């Protein structure tokens, strides 16, 4: 896989010759500091936030995934993501590769929970209502050219987090220790969200045939479902699982690997890439239904992110977006300058700047979606799936509207970063 592709997945491992074992060691060492930091350096705002009992049906969220839901793991472990990331909502980089909030942020808002702190972020973090193990560039299976913090490592991080959090909570003698960690009973009552698999397909698209990519999918599903089973056996009961999105519609691929006329769909996307993604999705959906039968006391929700994203791309103009296969930040085409990066082009330094109005675009930087698109997509899937999730089991629960909490959560996240 070429370095330009890896740069788009925010992995310095594509440019720095870092041995996987060293990278994982650094990540785990950073994780170790989370607990010592959280028990001694809790800001007043975080204490107030932690003391508030969630009004919804879930006391916490634990998230696993890649850059679609990374709220600061890679930024903390390998270097802060640069501006203009974060410009729309946070006003500065927030560890997210977008101009603002991600789908997981909007889900947290809907549940009345604060934004998730990245597990690897040791600075002023609070895990009382969940933690985020997602890492940009992560995959289901270990991939040499991708982030070494794959799904198996994320599961190991969660297991360590849970074990040590319960130990520290039970022996905590101060309000600081308890206010920064989940209660032991919250682990079985939490919502477990997952969005991963896209990088496994991408890495293979650039190295093997599409037939070989498709042939690898059963193994990916086996590992994905294996992690779900392990979480269930450790007490998890509620799962919100995203399928993979329309890979063939990402501007990075459409611009840099333009489809042949017979391989372009009505929107200009790479048809064969999306077809392979749908094979992955069909097998994932089938496996989740098998797990539902096997674990009848659990709620496993298969969330059709592919359909939501593809619908938005197909109906972009109807929803106020322009150029559905274009992007707002950085430059692709005759030369490539990543969003927020600088590059010498024909003797002149070029900066990967943002467009003037990110809310007009679906795609932020060629790979990731804008806040406006994430907001639309999250509203779409939440409307369809929230009642199935078990929210209906609590008739007293009402959704908090975005404009009611925007200022509150904005101040919370800025206070933490």
* Active centre residues (catalytic): 67, 365, 368
Q: Terminal CA-to-CA distance of the chain, rounded, Å?
A: 33
**What span, in angstroms and rounded, lies between the C-alpha atoms of 131 and 157?**
10
| CA 82 to mean position of chain CA atoms | 18
Instruction: Give DSSP secondary structure letters for 6-56.
Output: HHHTT-GGGTS---HHHHHHHHHHHHHHHHHHHHH---HHHHHHHHSPPSS
Residue 401 has which token pair?
């509207």
**What span, in angstroms and rounded, lies between the C-alpha atoms of 46 and 58?**
19
Cis peptide before 389 (omega within 30 of 0): no
Instruction: Give DSSP secondary structure letters for 105-165.
Output: HHHHHHTT-PPPPBTT--SS---TTEEE---TT--SS--TTS-S--HHHHHHHHHHHHHHH
Q: Compute the C-alpha angle 106/29/3, nearest 5°.
A: 70
| Torsion sign (Cα): 320, 278, 326, 143 | positive
**What span, in angstroms and rounded, lies between the C-alpha atoms of 224 and 66?**
13
Q: Compute the C-alpha angle 77/82/85, nearest 5°.
A: 110
**Which H/E stretch holds residue 219?**
helix 210-233
Contact between 390 and 299 (Cβ < 8 Å) = yes
**What span, in angstroms and rounded, lies between the C-alpha atoms of 54 and 42?**
19
Contact between 139 and 408 (Cβ < 8 Å) = no
User: How many Cα atoms within 13 Å fall on the side-chain side of residue 408?
Assistant: 12
Provide the 8-state DSSP code for 259: P
- Among residues 298, 198, 205, the alpha carbon closest in space to that of 242 is found at 198
């Amino acid at each position: 896989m070429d370095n330009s592709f890896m740069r788009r997945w925010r992995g310095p491992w594509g440019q720095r010759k870092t041995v996987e074992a060293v990278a994982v060691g650094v990540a785990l060492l950073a994780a170790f500091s989370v607990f010592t930091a959280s028990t001694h350096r809790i800001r007043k705002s975080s204490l107030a936030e932690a003391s508030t009992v969630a009004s919804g049906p879930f006391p916490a969220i634990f998230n696993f995934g890649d850059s679609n839901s990374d709220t600061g793991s890679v930024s903390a472990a390998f270097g802060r993501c640069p501006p203009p990331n974060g410009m729309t909502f946070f006003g500065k980089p927030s560890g997210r590769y977008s101009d603002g909030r991600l789908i997981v942020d909007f889900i947290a808002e809907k549940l009345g929970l604060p934004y998730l702190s990245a597990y690897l972020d040791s600075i002023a973090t609070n895990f009382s209502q969940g933690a985020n193990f997602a890492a940009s560039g992560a995959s289901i299976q270990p991939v040499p050219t991708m982030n070494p913090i794959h799904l198996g490592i994320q599961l190991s991080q969660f297991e360590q987090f849970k074990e040590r959090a319960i130990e520290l909570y039970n022996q905590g003698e101060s309000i600081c220790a308890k206010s920064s960690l989940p209660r032991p009973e919250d682990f079985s009552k939490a919502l477990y969200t997952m969005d991963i698999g896209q990088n496994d397909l991408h890495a293979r698209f650039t190295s093997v045939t599409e037939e070989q990519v498709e042939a690898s999918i059963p193994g990916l599903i086996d590992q994905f479902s294996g992690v779900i089973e392990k979480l269930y056996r450790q007490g998890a009961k509620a799962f919100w699982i995203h399928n993979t999105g329309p890979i063939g519609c990402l501007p990075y691929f459409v611009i840099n690997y333009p489809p042949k006329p017979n391989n372009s769909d009505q929107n200009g996307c790479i048809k064969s890439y999306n077809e392979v993604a749908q094979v992955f999705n069909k097998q994932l959906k089938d496996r989740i239904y098998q797990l539902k039968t096997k674990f009848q006391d659990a709620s496993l929700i298969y969330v059709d992110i592919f359909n939501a994203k593809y619908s938005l791309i197909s109906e972009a103009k109807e929803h106020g977006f322009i150029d559905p296969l274009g992007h707002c930040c950085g430059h692709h085409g005759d030369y490539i300058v990543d969003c927020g990066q600088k590059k010498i082009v024909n003797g002149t330094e070029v900066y990967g700047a943002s467009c003037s109005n990110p809310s007009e675009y679906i795609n932020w930087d060629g790979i990731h979606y804008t806040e406006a698109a994430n907001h639309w997509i999250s509203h779409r899937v939440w409307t369809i799936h929230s009642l199935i999730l078990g929210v209906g089991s609590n008739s007293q629960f009402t959704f908090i509207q975005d404009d009611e909490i925007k200022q509150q959560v904005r101040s919370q996240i800025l206070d933490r970063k």
